Amino acid sequence: MRICIATSGSGGINDFVSTVFGRCPTFTIVDIEGNEIKNIRVIQNPGYVSGSGAGVLAAQEIVNEGCNVLISGSVGPNSYQVLMAGHIDMRASPPTSVKDAINLFLEGKLPVAVPVHGGGRRGMGMGMGRGHGPW
Amino acid sequence: MVGEGVEWEWVWEEVMDHGSMIIGVTGGKGGTGKSTFAVNISSLLSRKYRVKLIDADVECPNDHILFSKELKNEVRERIFIPSFNYQKCIKCSLCQKNCSENAIVMFKNGYPFLLPNLCSSCKTCYIVCPTKAIESGSKFIGSTFITEINENLTLVTGMLDPGQERSYPMVLRTLDRANEIKSEITIIDTSAGTGNHVAASLMDAEIVFAVTEETPLGLHDLEMIERLIEKMDKMYYVIVNRHGISDINIKEKVLGKIPYDERIAESYYRGIPAVEMFKNTDIENYFLEPLMEVGIWQR
């Protein structure tokens, strides 16, 4: 089983789970074999520097990396659609260390993530202040 | 008070030359009285000319409310979105790579699919597809309306559907629909802000009135809209609304100051243009003066 954790710093097993998914800087990808952590890898999130559609880019990357599970603080509505299409098991985690988050997941204690509408009236895919209306 | 060195003759010649004149009403800040000003000057001008008022504030059009009219002659408007023909698709991922909004999703060895909410209908995918696997689809974004206010005044309204995020294409559709109506004077009431939806509304305007108020926020947003108008190389003047509510005094390029007056507020909530409700009073002059200064209305 391959787990991807959205991490808030430079990634790795001691980094912390990011509160956001689309615009977190790195993804830490671990393979689990019989409740043991193997093969820790860190990849850059292409959505971190993207103008718009960050969540979509990030989600595509996760699916293309062959991950089965995503652990993140939250998942945005656009990312959610893509991750659903890619059959990813999305789990929400508090901002603990990656290690703790994986253990919590393996114990079955992480709840299923639901899409959030962040950032006020028009959170949906409206990065960098685009598309904002009069208010 | 104002009007020093205003090239009103030039403006008047424009009207005479091609038999029509386009006035943009904008302002940057929301709630300064753009619609009030646009509704009142179109009401005034319709006494002499055939006027069309275009309500390009497609996110919340309200000019018809200020005239107490129901919107009529609805036309549903649609925009391009890609529709994939998977029989022709060779999974080259060119559409996905070239989509600047990242609206096209493609998994490894999978076919591309679209997240319609993110699509800006730029047609790039349609152009780059080497096998013509992307066909023209469409989605509804809103409606345009043509409402007759009086025999000389027609209101063209664009209204974005709730939940739609892009007002720019809707503004273009509204301006297109307005071409159906012939008029001597066209007044375009833009939305607040300085985004591309405002720029699109002002594209054809020959003279722009920036309506603002004398508050710190009004001043700030006026600066932003001035930068936009200067970039677009338009002739513009500032109209100060609710004059007298603060100590701030805007002087530059000011063509008219509409004082804070409860009678205007009353006409606003009654849904009658102030110039109709208080005909032949000083209220009428507040709106008439700027028009006289630029020579659209002659003494």
- pLDDT in single tens digits along all 299 residues of chain B: 444 444 555 555 655 556 678 999 998 898 999 999 999 999 999 998 899 999 999 999 999 999 999 999 999 999 999 999 999 999 999 999 999 888 999 888 889 999 888 888 899 999 999 999 999 999 999 999 999 999 999 999 999 999 888 899 999 999 999 999 989 899 999 999 999 999 999 999 989 999 999 999 999 999 999 999 999 999 899 999 999 888 888 888 899 899 999 999 999 999 999 999 999 899 999 999 888 888 887 76
Residues 1-60 of A with CB under 8 A from B: 50-54, 56-57, 59-60
- A133/B107 touch (CB, cutoff 8 Å), yes or no: no
Q: Quick one: closest CA in B to A54, which residue?
A: B102
- Residue A106 within a domain: yes
Categorize the per-residue pLDDT at A126 as very low, low, confident or very high, splitting at 50, 70 and 90. very low
Question: Is B283 strand, coil or helix?
Answer: helix
Tokens 């409206």 locate to A126
CATH at B122: 3.30.70.20
Question: What is the structure's pLDDT at B268?
Answer: 92
Check whether residue B275 and residue B195 sit in a common domain.
yes
| Domain assignment present for B59 | no
Same domain? B197 vs B286: yes
In this prediction, residue A134 carries a pLDDT of 41
Contact, A39 vs A32, CB < 8 A? no
Closest by CA position to B27, among listed B200, B254, B218: B218
- Flag whether B64 is in a domain: no
Task: Count up the domains in chain A and report the number.
Answer: 1
B114 part of a folded domain: yes
Residue B236's φ and ψ, nearest 5 degrees, are -140, 155
- Domain-located, residue A86: yes
Phi, psi of B202 (to 5 degrees): -90, -5
> Which residues in chain A have their CB less than 8 angstroms from residue B200's CB?
none
Q: Is residue A120 part of a domain?
A: no
Whether residues B267 and B230 fall in one domain? yes
The pLDDT of residue A125 is 44
Query: Residue B105 — φ and ψ, nearest 5°?
Result: -110, 135
- Say yes or no: A106 contacts chain B, CB-CB below 8 A: no
pLDDT over threshold 90, residue A135: no
Quick check: is A124 in a domain? no
Instruction: Indicate yes or no: CB of A125 within 8 angstroms of CB of B30.
Output: no
| Residue B101, pLDDT score | 87
Q: Is beta strand A69-72 parallel, antiparallel or unpaired with respect to A89-92?
A: parallel
Domain CATH code at residue B234: 3.40.50.300
Report the alpha-carbon distance of residue A22 to residue B90 in Å, rounded: 28
Q: Test A124 with B117 for CB contact under 8 angstroms.
A: yes
Alpha helices in chain A (DSSP H): 54-64, 77-85, 98-106
Token digits of residue A94: 């508090």
Residues B275 and B215 grouped into a single domain: yes
Inter-chain residue contact B118 with A60, CB threshold 8 Å: no
pLDDT at A129: 42
Taking an 8 Å cut-off on Cβ atoms, the answer to whether A126 and B195 are in contact is: no
Structure tokens at B238: 């500032």
The whole domain housing A100 covers: 2-115
Asked if the structure places residue B162 within a domain, the reply is no
pLDDT of residue B28: 86
List the end-to-end C-alpha distance of chain B, in Å, as a whole number: 17
What is the C-alpha to C-alpha distance for residues A10 and A27, in angstroms, rounded to an integer?
9
pLDDT digits (tens, 9 = 90+) for A30-68: 999 988 888 899 999 999 988 788 899 999 999 999 999
Contact between B115 and A78 using a beta-carbon 8 Å cutoff: yes
> Which of B104, B120, B140 is where one domain is finished?
B140
Domain count, chain B: 2
- The answer to whether residue B71 sits within a structural domain is no
Q: Which of A53, A63, A122 sits opposite B118 (nearest CB)?
A: A53
B70 within some domain: no
Mean pLDDT, chain A, rounded, equals: 85
- Cα Rg of chain B (Å, integer): 22
Q: What angle do CA B283, B287, B289 make, to 5 degrees?
A: 105
- Give the domain range for residue B235: 8-49+184-293
Helix (H, G, I), strand (E, B) or coil at A22: coil
Q: Is residue A134 part of a domain?
A: no
Is B59 within 8 Å of A52 when comparing Cβ atoms? no
Q: Is residue B124 part of a domain?
A: yes
Question: Which of B102, B108, B192 lies nearest to residue A64, judging by beta carbons?
Answer: B108
Q: Which residue has the tokens 């008047």?
A: B12
CATH number at residue A52: 3.30.420.130
Q: Which residue has the tokens 């890609």?
A: B82
Kindly tell me the sign of the dihedral angle through the C-alpha atoms of B264, B269, B272, B277: negative
CA atoms within 13 A on the CB side of B193: 21
* Chain B contact for A82 (CB, 8 A cutoff): yes
Cα angle: B15, vertex B20, B26; to 5 degrees: 90
Instruction: Please tell me whether residues B39 and B91 are part of one structural domain.
Output: no
